[in-house]
Amino acid sequence: MSGTLARTSADGSQDNSAEPRHGRPAWLTPVNLVIIITTLVAFGLRLYYQVTRPGFLMGVTEYDDGPYFGSAVRLVHGSMPYRDFVLVQPPGITLLMSPVGLLTYLTGTGWGLAIGRVLTLLAGTASVPLAGLLVRHRGVLAVLITCGVTAVYADAVAAAHTVLVEPWLVLFCLIGAVTVFDGDRLSASTKRLVWGGAAFGFAGAVEAWAIVPVLVVTALCLPHLRRAALFVAGVAAGFIIPVLPFAIAAPSQLYRSLITAQVGYRAHAGRVGVLLRLKNIIGFPGTLGWSRTTVLLAVFAILLLVLVTQVAAALVTRKPQPTLDWFATATTVLIIIMFLWPPQFHYHFAAFLAPFLAMTLALPISRLLANAPASTVAPAAKRQLEWGALGLSVVVLVVLVGAQARFESSAPKVIGPIPATIERVIPPGACVLTDQVSVTLAANRFVSNVPGCPRMIDSLGTDLALSNGLKPQTGAADVPKVAAFWNQAFSHAQYVILTATNPRRIAWSPPLLAYLNDHFDQVYRSPRKLLLYVRKGQSVR
Last residue in a domain, options 360, 375, 408 = 408
pLDDT of residue 14: 47
* pLDDT value of residue 268: 65
Residue 541, in any domain of the structure: no
Tens place of pLDDT per residue across the chain (541 aa) = 433 434 444 344 444 444 455 566 777 788 999 999 999 999 998 998 777 777 788 999 999 999 999 999 999 999 999 999 999 999 999 999 999 999 999 999 999 999 999 999 999 999 999 999 999 999 999 999 999 999 999 899 999 999 999 999 999 999 999 999 999 999 999 999 999 999 999 999 999 999 999 999 999 999 899 999 999 999 999 999 999 999 999 998 888 888 877 766 666 667 888 888 998 898 887 765 678 888 899 899 999 999 999 998 888 888 889 999 999 999 999 999 999 998 888 889 999 999 999 999 999 998 888 765 554 555 665 566 666 767 777 777 777 777 666 666 665 667 888 889 999 999 999 999 999 999 999 999 999 999 999 999 999 999 999 998 899 999 999 999 999 999 999 999 999 999 999 999 999 999 999 999 999 999 999 988 899 999 998 776 6
- The answer to whether position 110 is within a domain reads yes
Segment 204-220, tens digit of pLDDT: 999 999 999 999 999 99
Question: Which residues, including other chains, have CB under 8 Å from residue 420's CB and lie 6 or more apart?
Answer: none
Neighbours of 485 (CB within 10 A): 22
Distances (CA, A) of 204 to 74, 159, 177, 240: 22, 18, 14, 10
Domain presence at residue 415: no
- Domain shared by 49 and 184, yes or no: yes
Residue 221 lies in a domain: yes
Q: At what angle do helices 354-370 and 379-408 cross, to 10 degrees?
A: 160
pLDDT at 151: 93
Within 28-127, strands assigned E span: none
208 and 86 housed in the same domain: yes
Instruction: Report pLDDT for 101.
Output: 97
In order, the DSSP letters of 306-331 are HHHHHHHHHHHHTSPPPHHHHHHHHH
Claim to verify: residue 396 and residue 428 sit in the same structural domain? no
- Distances from the Cα of 133 to the Cα of 12, 34, 142, angstroms: 18, 11, 11
pLDDT at 78: 94
Q: Are 363 and 312 in contact (CB under 8 A)?
A: no
SS3 527: coil
Alpha helices in 136-183 (DSSP H): 140-152, 154-159, 165-180
User: Are residues 506 and 424 part of one domain?
Assistant: yes
Contact 129, 147 (CB under 8 A): yes
Q: Which residues pair with 533 in a beta bridge?
A: 496, 522
The pLDDT value given to residue 18:
43
| Rounded Cα–Cα distance for residues 515 and 532 (Å) | 15
DSSP, res 383 = H
Tell me the one-letter amino acid at 219: A
Assess whether 108 and 233 both reside in one domain: yes
Domain total of the chain? 2
Please tell me the predicted confidence (pLDDT) of residue 379.
Answer: 63
pLDDT of 369-410, one tens digit each? 876 555 455 566 556 666 676 777 777 777 777 766 666 666
Q: Of 493, 388, 497, give the one whose Cα is nearest residue 451.
A: 493
Same domain, 399 and 518: no
For the residues of 56-80, what is the DSSP string, one character each?
TTTSB--STHHHHHHHHHHHHTTPP
As a whole number of angstroms, the distance between CA 478 and CA 463 comes to: 11
Task: State whether 385 and 438 are in the same domain.
Answer: no
- In sequence order, the β-bridge partners of residue 60 are 416
Do 402 and 449 belong to one domain? no
Considering the domain boundaries, does residue 36 fall inside one?
A: yes
Write down how long the chain is: 541
Round to whole Å and give the CA distance between 88 and 478: 22
How far from chain centre, in Å, is Cα 3? 36
In the listed set 361, 376, 408, which residue is the last one of a domain according to the structure?
408
On whether the CB atoms of residues 535 and 497 are closer than 8 A, the answer is: no
Do residues 41 and 404 touch, judged by C-beta distance below 8 A? no
Residues 218 and 353 in one domain: yes
226 within some domain: yes
Residue 108, helix vs strand vs coil: helix
Check whether the bond before 223 is cis (ω within 30° of 0): yes
Identify whether residues 513 and 388 lie together within a single domain. Answer: no
Q: Are residues 169 and 250 in the same domain?
A: yes
Q: Is the dihedral of CA 120, 65, 81, 427 positive or negative?
A: positive
Domain containing residue 466: 420-535
Is position 540 within any domain? no
Assess contact for 523 and 490: CB atoms under 8 A. Answer: no
CA 232 – CA 34 distance, rounded (Å)? 34
Q: Are residues 168 and 20 located together in one domain of the fold?
A: yes
pLDDT in tens, 252-306: 888 888 887 776 666 666 788 888 899 889 888 776 567 888 889 989 999 999 9
Q: Which of 387, 408, 429 is the last residue of a domain?
A: 408
- What confidence score (pLDDT) does residue 388 get? 72
**pTM across the whole model:** 0.91
Is residue 425 assigned to a domain?
yes
